[in-house]
Amino acid sequence: MAGVASELTVVLCPLDDLPAEDLTLDALELRQAQRLQSPLDRRRYVAAHAALRAALAERMETDPAMLTFARAPCPECGQPHGRPVVLRPGGSLARRAELQFSLSQSGSHALIAIAKAPVGADIEALPDPGMCKQLAALLHPREQALIVGAPEAHQQVLFTRLWCRKEAYLKGLGVGFGHETTEGYLSSLEHTPGWHVENIDAPDGFAAAVATAA
């Protein structure tokens, strides 16, 4: 599934339904795939990264195998472990493409977001209720209150949606969950200055979100 609005492309990938052909992947991607012990995990990794290359190549009007990737400087420490970036031919950060992207994978599904502004994507399988309660402590106090105040039957889905919004936002910032996660309140768009955060329709048993810099 793909959608384009305000130059944002969102692609939801059912990985077990996609071909796992590694012809377009580079040496680093192939090594990372080989480190995965499960054949199913390796297949899904290859399918997700091939789908990412295909989506980027379509926007950039180039061959998926010609794309190269690097890491932008971390916004907190300046070291080269910030958000991933795609490069135009030539390979240096000076040749960074105008497009930015984010890839998230959870089990049998992946979510890709591509935009001309900083962007983050996250998809998560619903965790068990006990894990939801444990991880909820990492959310903003108002987000925690929303979960506790919801009917118990809805808390699992609500937690996962909030978690995806938080993860997508932090990926967009380029900092990830090592950042202080209780600072930002992301249950509604008006509480996210400078960012547009939206839930993405996901298959049963999953939640997903995309955050784009305004």
pLDDT at 193 over 80: no
> Looking at the 3D structure of the chain, how many domains does it have?
1
pLDDT at 130: 83
Token pair of 85, please? Answer: 């970036």
The domain in which residue 156 lies consists of: 2-213
pLDDT average, residue stretch 133-157 = 86
pLDDT tier at 191, thresholds 50, 70, 90: low
**DSSP H helices in the chain:** 27-35, 39-60, 129-135, 141-149, 152-173
Instruction: Out of 3-7, 56-60, 119-123, 155-159, give the one with best mean pLDDT.
Output: 119-123
- Residue 142, domain CATH: 3.90.470.20
pLDDT in tens, 24-73: 999 999 999 999 999 999 999 999 999 999 999 999 888 999 999 988 88
Closest CA to 112 of 15, 10, 18, 199: 10
pLDDT at 77 over 90: no
